[in-house]
């Protein structure tokens, strides 16, 4: 449970519902008795939801998706460490603008904009901070930059009848995760997962069910917290080496046994990024400066305002999440 439900049963549109977190949000809403419509380019594969297929950048598709809904959870985004900057701009900023315009025209009043802590991360350690202001000029990389612009756009619609809250889940993981977990396991299995620096930097993360619960909780109180941004985590900071080792053991692979100085990793990440722009590979780059910073600096957040304002508490601890992850691999 999230603490309380989204006002009496509503029809909620979830964009990006074919993704890992999107599917969890849809399940949470369905479990609470809401009607759920989804918008994404491929089927959501979630029983009970009604799919609208298409891009969030297509005004006609978006207008059809928002017609008759009471609220929107906006997750659709281009999420990558590399790619054409224009694609990030078109999807993350343009898609958000298209969705908000259509939602307001359709009479929707409540929107949860799912953002990222990277919108306020400038490369330094984050030690017990609250949600800082999104800043496209200082955000690291095209994803973070455009997500920062999108958040400012969502929260700053002067004169709009929309009530919008931004939720920034931090390092979401769990069974079925093809981003963080799958990449950690794949690289560990291939012997390509080092610990950066001493591995003792404290980082927080969010088990997927907790992230979904917080997003749905935000939808229930959006009228009260309109215009605010909240970072969501488990509230259990752990040394980065310990968290990586826990994920590896859950998947049955050896944790990383070698280390690379953090400064070397950042320099290498910058070089890889530069080379990737000239000759991009088929997959994500093996290292970027942003990724090196994430794996070598502390980033954990004060959760008191988040839990008080959203009236939400995480229900799955990191240890329980790792146990469930291990079960999924078995």
The structure tokens 């694609």 sit at 87
Are the beta carbons of 238 and 318 closer than 8 angstroms? yes
| CA distances from residue 78 to 27, 34, 51, 151, 247 in whole angstroms, order as listed | 22, 27, 19, 14, 25
- Exposed/middle/buried for residue 318 (C-beta within 10 Å: 0-12, 13-18, 19+): buried
Six token digits for residue 115? 């953002």
Give Cα separations from 42 to 49, 166, 199, 316 (angstroms): 13, 25, 38, 29
DSSP for 187-212 reads HHHTT--PEETTS--EE--EEHHHHH
Q: Cβ(238)–Cβ(202) under 8 Å? A: yes
Instruction: Kindly state the helix (H) or strand (E) to which residue 224 belongs, with its residue range.
Output: helix 208-225
The angle that helices 95-105 and 141-155 make with each other, rounded to 10 degrees, is 20
Catalytic, 143? Answer yes
SS3 category, 98 = helix
Catalytic residue among 143, 207, 230, 329: 143
Residue 302's nearest CA partner among 230, 250, 220 is: 230
Strand runs labelled E in 98-243? 110-114, 126-129, 163-169, 172-173, 195-196, 202-203, 206-207, 229-232, 238-239
- The CA distance from 13 to 36, in Å, is 6
Q: Which residues are catalytic, by number?
A: 143
């Amino acid at each position: 449970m999230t603490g309380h439900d989204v006002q009496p049963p509503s029809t909620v549109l979830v964009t990006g519902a074919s993704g890992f977190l999107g599917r969890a949000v849809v399940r949470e809403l369905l479990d609470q008795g809401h009607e759920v419509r989804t918008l994404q380019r491929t089927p959501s594969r979630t029983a009970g939801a009604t799919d609208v297929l298409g891009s969030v950048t297509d005004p006609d598709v978006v207008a059809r998706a928002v017609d008759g809904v009471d609220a929107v959870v906006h997750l659709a985004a281009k999420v990558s460490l590399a790619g054409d900057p224009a694609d990030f701009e078109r999807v993350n900023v343009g898609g958000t603008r298209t969705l908000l315009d259509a939602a307001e025209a359709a009479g929707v009043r409540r929107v949860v904009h799912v953002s990222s802590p990277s919108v306020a991360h400038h490369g330094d350690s984050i030690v017990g901070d609250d949600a800082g202001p999104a800043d496209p000029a200082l955000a690291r990389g095209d994803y973070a930059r455009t997500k920062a612009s999108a958040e400012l756009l969502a929260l700053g619609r002067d004169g709009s009848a929309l009530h919008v809250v931004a939720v920034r889940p931090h390092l979401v993981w769990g069974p079925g995760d093809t981003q963080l977990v799958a990449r950690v396991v794949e690289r560990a299995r291939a012997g390509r997962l080092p610990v950066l620096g001493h591995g003792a930097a404290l980082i927080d993360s969010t088990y997927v069910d907790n992230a979904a619960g917080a997003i749905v909780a935000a939808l229930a109180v959006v009228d009260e917290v309109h215009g605010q941004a909240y970072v969501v985590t488990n509230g259990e900071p752990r040394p980065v080496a310990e968290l990586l080792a826990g994920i590896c053991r859950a998947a049955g692979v050896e944790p990383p046994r070698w280390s690379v100085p953090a400064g070397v990793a950042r320099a290498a990440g910058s070089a890889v990024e530069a080379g990737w722009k000239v000759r991009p590979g088929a997959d994500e780059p093996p290292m970027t400066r942003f990724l090196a910073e994430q794996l070598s600096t502390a980033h954990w957040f004060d959760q008191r305002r988040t839990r008080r304002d959203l009236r939400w508490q995480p229900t799955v601890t990191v240890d329980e999440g790792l146990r469930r992850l291990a079960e999924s691999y078995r």
